[in-house]
Structure 1
Amino acid sequence: GLAEHWGKSVLHCPYCHGYEVAGGPLGVLATGPMAVHQAQLIADWGDVTLFANGLFEPDAEQMLALERRNVRFEPAGVAELEKDGSDGLIVSLEDGRKAGVRALFTAPRNTMASPLAEQLGCTFTEGFLGPVITVDDRQQTTVKGVYAAGDAARSMHNIAFAVSGGAFAGVCAHQSLVFD
């Protein structure tokens, strides 16, 4: 059910979507241990349940961090997501229990949409959500004359960052053509 609810009640970023869903029960669907970090942040927008989905068990320090932010930890696997009749979701757990959430946040692993950077010989760095193209402070990749920006070149995906990075990469590419 992730794909059918993506962008509506399954979301990736509290900074992009948190305000829209604030005040209701929220969930974080774990894709790995980074979900602890995500759940702590999302707690500023509502009551959060971290659905570990059977992927990991937080250590004592992580559990304490979740408790400090009043995040409920749910270790059971998630069996199904279904619309709740309004704008939220029903999270059905493998043991038969159900939980209602206004929105479910998750951090899927990203991949490049195109093989172009790899074909050009660009180097990649492992970001916290998957590979990103390695760039310097002027957005140039490890291949001279090749620039990258936006989601392809940074782990934190945000439209404003992508637009800004793209504009800056364009300026730097132009200056390189003129002065290099």
Structure 2
Amino acid sequence: MKHDVIVIGGSYAGMAAALQLLRARKTVLVIDGGQRRNRFASHSHGFLSQDGVNPGEIAKTARSQLERYPTLAWIEDQISGLSGEVDSFSITTATGETHQARRILLATGVADQLPAVKGLAERWGQSVFHCPYCHGYELDQGPVGIIGASPLSTHQAELLTEWGKVTLFSNGAVTVDDLTRGRLEQRGVEIEETLIDRIEGTAEVVLIDGRTQRFAGLFTATRTSPASPLAEALGCALEETPMGIQVRTDAECKTSISGVFACGDVARAPHSVSLAVGNGAMAGAQIHRSLVWPDTIQLDQASLKSP
């Protein structure tokens, strides 16, 4: 069977796109490996009508709603191969199955590269975060620590003063020039340049000189990259952003490869559940339009090519 669309990645963006296509009575196959980016978090915030809900429950509810549509197929598997061209794509799964589709949507999400600080990864999504809009309110205006990782860390520190008293740990990863230091100090940010030895307890930063500082929560600026190599293997143009590498798309969610679209964290920043859902809904509508008016699939492709 040839599907109208194969959606690779069944998290929030992928499901939001699939919903638009299913409601247009298109045949949709979702292939998902079950590795949601926010699987470490116990609560999701900032998503209207789902504020404070376990992100796994949001995903479970969304999938159950998709499954009411008879033109949906869902496979829990990994992709081992993807080839073809517009109207004639072929996907092979890790279990050896082959599926065809007229369009491909990459909603694979991203992987986070955390600073190499002992104890940080174990607390990721629980007391160490990246998005203040998702997790800042619950810290109840308590002290906030920023684990330096990139130039974005100073931006994080300045912004997070809206949620509590901030300490920025440069940790050898962030250089604070005089202009930035003045701006941070004006916002009341304390700058700690002693290196971090480890993270303990809920959110306790232990420095190499033995001092321990306790916080309501910690934030860090991760570097992201596509969670799957499929986009690069297909030849889709990638681009560098302050947050990491993402698939280059246009306003209609098209990639540089005709018939291949991308949405969600893998194709846009900043990242959150609500933004992923919105972008996924847009991608689904644009893919449907490309099926109705095939000539539009070629528009603006040249502008997406790597320079």
Q: TM range, normalised to the smaller chain? A: over 0.9
Whether 2:255 is the aligned partner of 1:141: answer: yes
Query: Which of 110, 127, 135 pairs up with 2:241?
Result: 127
SS of the residue aligned with 1:110? strand
* Contact 1:57/1:75 (<8 A) preserved: no
* Contact 2:264/2:280 (<8 A) preserved: yes
* Contact 2:249/2:256 (<8 A) preserved: yes
| Greater relative contact order (CA < 8 Å, ≥ 6 in sequence) | 2
Tell me by how many angstroms 1:122 deviates: 0.6
User: C-alpha offsets along residues 136-165 of structure 1, whole Å, 9 cap, x if unaligned?
Assistant: 010101111111111001121111110111
Q: Percent of aligned pairs with the same residue?
A: 46
* Contact 2:153/2:174 (<8 A) preserved: no
Whether 2:187 is the aligned partner of 1:69: answer: yes
Query: Which of 171, 176, 182 pairs up with 1:53?
Result: 171
Tell me by how many angstroms 1:56 deviates: 2.8
Give the letter for the 1:37 counterpart: H
* Contact 1:28/1:35 (<8 A) preserved: yes
User: C-alpha offsets along residues 87-142 of structure 1, whole Å, 9 cap, x if unaligned?
Assistant: x4110011211110110000111121101111111111111110011000101011
Tell me by how many angstroms 1:53 deviates: 0.7
1: CA distance, partners of 2:258 / 2:140 = 45
- Between structure 1 and structure 2, the one with the greater Rg is 2
Tell me by how many angstroms 1:22 deviates: 3.0
Structure 2 equivalent of residue 178 of structure 1: 292
Please, which runs of 5 or more residues in structure 1 have no aligned partner? none
Q: Size of the alignment, in residue pairs?
A: 176
Give the letter for the 1:35 counterpart: S
2: CA distance, partners of 1:100 / 1:10 = 13
Give the letter for the 1:18 counterpart: G
Whether 2:265 is the aligned partner of 1:151: answer: yes
2: CA distance, partners of 1:7 / 1:32 = 19
User: C-alpha offsets along residues 5-35 of structure 1, whole Å, 9 cap, x if unaligned?
Assistant: 1111101110111111131000110102221
SS of the residue aligned with 2:126? coil
Structure 2 equivalent of residue 44 of structure 1: 162
Whether 2:279 is the aligned partner of 1:165: answer: yes
* Contact 2:129/2:135 (<8 A) preserved: yes
Whether 2:215 is the aligned partner of 1:101: answer: yes
Give the letter for the 1:167 counterpart: A
Whether 2:137 is the aligned partner of 1:23: answer: no
When normalised by structure 1's length, the TM-score is 0.95
What RMSD, in angstroms, separates the aligned Cα atoms of the two structures? 0.9
1: CA distance, partners of 2:216 / 2:254 = 41
* Contact 1:130/1:155 (<8 A) preserved: no
Structure 2 equivalent of residue 111 of structure 1: 225
SS of the residue aligned with 2:197? strand
Please, which runs of 5 or more residues in structure 2 have no aligned partner? 1-118, 295-307
Structure 2 equivalent of residue 4 of structure 1: 122
Structure 1 equivalent of residue 205 of structure 2: 91
**Which structure features the higher share of helix residues?**
1
SS of the residue aligned with 1:105? strand
User: C-alpha offsets along residues 36-59 of structure 1, whole Å, 9 cap, x if unaligned?
Assistant: 111000010000000111223310
Give the letter for the 1:81 counterpart: I
2: CA distance, partners of 1:67 / 1:138 = 42
2: CA distance, partners of 1:154 / 1:108 = 15
Give the letter for the 1:52 counterpart: S
When normalised by structure 2's length, the TM-score is 0.56
2: CA distance, partners of 1:166 / 1:50 = 34
Give the letter for the 1:173 counterpart: I
